[in-house]
Amino acid sequence: MKVVTIGLGYIGLPTSLMFARHGAEVVGVDISKRVVGFLNAGHVLIEEPGLEAYLTEALLQQKFKASLIPEEGDVFIIAVPTPNLSDKYGSCDLTYVKKAIESILPYLKKGNTVIIESTIAPCTTEDIIQPLIEKVGFQIGEDIFLVHCPERVLPGKILHELVNNNRIIGGVTEKCTQKGIEIYGLFVKGKSLGASASAAELAKLMENTYRDVNIALANELVLISEKLGIDALSVIQLANEHPRVDIHQPGPGVGGHCLAVDPYFIIAKAPERAQLIHQARKINSQMPGFIVNQVQEIMEENKGTKVTVLGLTYKGNVDDIRESPSLQIINELERSTSYQIVIFDPYVAEVGTSSIEEALVNSDLALVLTDHDEFKEISEKQIRNMKTPILFDTKNCVKTLNQFEKEYSLGRLPSVKQLEM
Ligand code: SAJ
């Protein structure tokens, strides 16, 4: 089997190398000369455990090459980005997907399968991609098999999850679905879930929307509890003792390239219906502003002048800052206050200071915005040079709370009454 992948990013590259590792001949295509050059020289530009070793092996076995242009093959996989458009509802920008499809059209032959892995709005495969392929004379389901097979892997665990997760295989026709199941059967050990292309598109979006809406519920609970003077973290703990309740964790907002992006694809398709999803997005988007207000209150109460931000990335133990609430919080603090702001993130070495100790020198507030392991056990030594050792933990991840003179947690502010446990 020969696989041609368009887009060698977070999803396209690991998927290509997984096919190569399981015997397929793979050509990976990217528009970036830099990416293609680095990959052919054996270097991976994204941080993902085990990926470079997979590349080394695939190059050695001559099962993988990177290229700027596509070529003929059996299976074409589209794994290019789909950002939000800056229109009213942030709909799905299909520019790269359409370009990718146009780029493979000259190489398509009867019997080929085209798989879309990029996250797309509901009905895109049938309403937009199918006509693009049919306009050059092929019939979908007879000549070309068209499938939407959304990726669902978690950064940091991609190679494990590609093999072990259940996979949704959404064909435009039954034959298309069967082709998709056969192809992924090469390495997927999880279940193959046959579906229509549209159900696959919406299922993928709803997975991330489910999480976004649930996080919004936890964040709204924090807002309500703050007003009522109730400890929200205890409330979550108590409610989660119910066998069918799982309230998520509140935080400074929702970042990353999935949860903060995908719900808008649904909203844009049915704005008058997607009320709850839209409201959840609004609540999560307001959280950075709420944190900034809390910081101002804490600083005023303690007469502080210097804030140390701990954590830039959108979640713990990754180097990804896309849509990170930290960026918004820092911008807002810089814009609307006169505090000195210092930043430290062990995963984003190029920004800010090079150690926690250095970042905390003379500081009045350690503001934890990301749950990196490095922050969970902040030591007495690391905070020794703070002017006033005060902590505001917006992720509720710091365990060494008694090192601090005062500690504030999101959902559990000191002025707030503690619930009797
Ligand atoms: N967050 C909270 N409270 C929580 C959980 C998360 O505030 O209780 C925040 C995080 O801090 C972060 C954001 O939400 O800012 C997103 O983090 P995440 O780990 O939930 O999600 P992603 O974006 O890294 O990965 C998701 C995953 N989807 C689901 O869990 C439903 C992953 O499986 C998908 O592959 C990925 O999106 C994707 O590509 O769609």
409-418: pLDDT as tens digits = 999 865 533 4
In angstroms, what CA-CA distances link 62 with 24, 41, 66, 108, 290?
Answer: 10, 13, 11, 23, 53
Q: Does the residue 323 lie in any domain?
A: yes
Residue 421 lies inside a defined structural domain of this protein: no
Cross-strand bridge partners of residue 309: 343, 367
Q: What are the backbone angles phi and psi of residue 366, rounded to the nearest 5°? A: -95, 110
- Domain extent at residue 287: 209-409
Give the confidence band of 351 by pLDDT, cuts at 50, 70, 90.
confident
Cα gap 341→359, rounded to integer Å: 9
pLDDT score recorded for residue 421 = 37
Q: What is the pLDDT of residues 95-126, one digit of tens each?
A: 999 999 999 999 999 999 999 999 999 999 99
> Same domain, yes or no, for 182 and 267?
no
Q: Is residue 414 part of a domain?
A: no
**pLDDT the model gives residue 349:** 85
Residues 6+ apart with CB under 8 A from 304: 298, 339, 364, 365, 387, 388, 390
Domain-ending residue, one of 162, 190, 218: 190
Q: What region, left, alpha or beta, does residue 228 occupy, with left being phi > 0 and alpha being psi -120 to 50 degrees?
A: alpha
pLDDT digits (tens, 9 = 90+) for 257-316: 899 999 999 999 999 999 999 999 999 999 999 999 999 999 999 999 999 999 999 999
Report residue 3: phi and psi, to 5°. -110, 135
Asked if the structure places residue 219 within a domain, the reply is yes
pLDDT the model gives residue 319: 87
Alpha-carbon span 102 to 96, nearest angstrom: 10
Does residue 92 sit within a domain? yes
Name the amino acid, one letter, at 376.
K
Q: Are residues 391 and 338 in the same domain?
A: yes
Partnered with residue 6 across adjacent β-strands are 29, 78
- Measured N-to-C along each axis, helices 262-269 and 197-228 cross at an angle, to the nearest 10 degrees, of 110
Residue whose CA is closest, atom 28 of ligand 1? Answer: 208
**Weakest mean pLDDT among 183-187, 202-206, 378-382, 410-414:** 410-414
What are the helix and strand counts (H, E) for the chain? Answer: 16, 13
Give yes or no: residues 372 and 299 share one domain. yes
Cα-based distances in Å from 153 to 5, 76, 165:
17, 20, 8
What is the residue-averaged pLDDT of the chain? 96
Cα distance between residue 58 and residue 23, in whole Å: 10
pLDDT at 414: 57
Q: Are residues 154 and 101 in the same domain?
A: yes
Q: Do residues 145 and 239 share a domain?
A: no
Mean pLDDT for 375-401 is 97
Sign of the torsion angle spanned by Cα atoms 303, 308, 313, 315: negative
Q: Which of 156, 190, 224 is the last residue of a domain?
A: 190
Same domain, 269 and 149: no
Q: Is 109 exposed, middle or buried (0-12, 13-18, 19+ CB in 10 A)?
A: exposed
Neighbours of 3 (CB within 10 A): 25
Residue 260 alpha carbon to ligand 1 centre in Å = 9
Residue 239 has pLDDT above 70, yes or no: yes
225 and 361 part of one domain: yes
**% residues pLDDT > 70 (the chain):** 98
Strand 192-196 to 306-310 pairing: unpaired
* Cβ of residue 251 lying under 6 Å from some atom of ligand 1: yes
The answer to whether residue 172 scores a pLDDT higher than 80 is yes
- Look at phi and psi of residue 102 and say left if phi exceeds 0, alpha if psi is from -120 to 50, else beta: alpha
Residues 173 and 225 occupy one common structural domain = no
Residues 6+ apart with CB under 8 A from 286: none
Residue 100 located in a structural domain? yes
Centroid of ligand 1 to alpha carbon of 209 (angstroms): 10
Q: What is the mean pLDDT of residues 50-72?
A: 98
d(C-alpha 277, C-alpha 264), whole Å: 8
Ligand 1 near 265 CB (within 6 A): no
Q: Are residues 374 and 290 in the same domain?
A: yes
**CATH number of residue 148's parent domain:** 3.40.50.720
Is the residue at 199 inside a domain?
Answer: no
Alpha carbon nearest to ligand 1 atom 11, residue: 315
Q: Could you tell me the CA-to-CA distances from 48 to 9, 22, 282, 354, 405 in Å, in that order?
A: 11, 19, 32, 23, 38
Predicted confidence at residue 24, as pLDDT, reads 98
- Which residues have CB under 8 Å from 14's CB, separation 6+? 48, 51, 54, 153, 158, 159, 162
Question: Strands (DSSP E) along 117-206, which ranges?
Answer: 145-148, 167-171, 192-196
Ligand 1 centroid to residue 315 C-alpha, Å: 8
- How high is the pLDDT of residue 56? 98
Q: Residue 154: CB within 6 Å of ligand 1?
A: yes
The beta strand positions in 263-382, using DSSP E, are 306-310, 340-344, 365-368
Q: Which is the closest atom of ligand 1 to the Cα of 119?
A: 40
User: Checking DSSP bridges between strand 390-393 and strand 406-409, what pairing results, if any?
Assistant: parallel
Q: Is residue 367 part of a domain?
A: yes
Mark which of 144, 161, 190 sits at the end of a domain.
Answer: 190
Residue type, 401: L
Rounded distance from Cα 411 to ligand 1 centre (Å): 20
Longest dimension (CA), the chain: 72
**Could you tell me if 72 and 183 lie in one domain?**
yes
Cα 283 to Cα 82: distance, rounded to the nearest angstrom: 23
185 with 213, same domain: the answer is no
Bridge-partner residues for 194, per DSSP?
169
CA atoms within 13 A of residue 217's CA, in its CB half-sphere? 15
**Count of structural domains within the chain:** 2
Same domain (yes/no): 280, 179: no
Atom 1, ligand 1: which residue's CA is nearest? 254
Query: How far is Cα 328 from Cα 242, in angstroms, rounded to an integer?
Result: 35
